[in-house]
A and B are shown apart, each in its own frame.
Chain A
Amino acid sequence: MKVNLIYFAWVRERIGKTEEEMELPKSVVTVGDLLSHLKGLGEEYETALQFPDVIRVAINQEHVEHDEAIAGAREIGIFPPMTGG
């Protein structure tokens, strides 16, 4: 499946991209699978996602846990814990 990945804050800076479209292999089923897959794409992804536990993910602009399936996702946001307010 093809998804649009959007990165924010230090995840964006470390990966060096604001967003990208990506074709995902069938083996990527959950959010956790996606983060593992991205980590293997190069040093910048490895640096950005080296501590996946702290990474927050939103599918179609709604927060999801790492065990959530990504089926049906058009847009997946990947970012650090939020620090607004």
Chain B
Amino acid sequence: MSVPSPTIRVQAHDFDLQAEVDALSGGRMDIGAIVSFVGLCRSEQGGLSALELEHYPGMAETEMKRIADLAIERFSLMGATAIHRYGRIEPGQNIVLVIAAAPHRQAAFDGANFIMDYLKTSAPFWKKEHAADGTAGEWIEAKGIDDKAKDKWG
């Protein structure tokens, strides 16, 4: 069986979770498990009016595909999807979607987890906070905990 090619998109508009799951699994009888992860924008107790997501066009897609390909190989996934939004995103709105499909649940859980951990530290995206009082806030700082999460995969 050929190695599946992941679906990778970087887009300003929202994504449809069910449509993406259907696109991955539609018509297939061999997939036993699908794990999806959706990352959303938090309001930070009302202090945040929006996030501004900046990305490196071209490299963002390339890096997301590289990460998804690694996960497909490592966990023998039957399919994977990674979609990341850019631009202005308000609290409650979607930022990122990762889907992993496999014959059994453990590979699907691990695959989605792996893709997210690598995406956070290696895919060229940056978040800037816009405060509820209208001021442009600070760029969010990278967290050591995200590096640790990635490092657990060796």
Contact of B139 among A9, A61, A63, A84 (CB under 8 A): A9
A77 nearest in chain B by CB position: B56
Q: How many residues of B contact A (CB 8 A)?
A: 28
Is B42's CB within 8 Å of the partner chain A?
Answer: no
B123 cross-chain contacts in A, Cβ below 8 A: 82, 84-85
Q: Is the CB of B124 within 8 A of A8?
A: yes
A residues at B contact (CB < 8 Å)? 6, 8-10, 58, 61-63, 77, 79-85
Contact of A77 among B59, B120, B128 (CB under 8 A): B59
Main secondary structure of the interface of B (DSSP, over half): mixed
Is B53's CB within 8 Å of the partner chain A?
Answer: yes
Q: Is the CB of A84 within 8 A of B126?
A: yes
For the A-B complex, the count of residue pairs with Cβ-Cβ distances under 8 Å equals 71
A79-B126, A80-B126, A80-B139 are contacts. A85–B96 as well, Cβ < 8 Å? yes
Is B142's CB within 8 Å of the partner chain A?
Answer: yes
A-B CB proximity, top 4 nearest: A84-B125, A81-B142, A9-B126, A85-B120
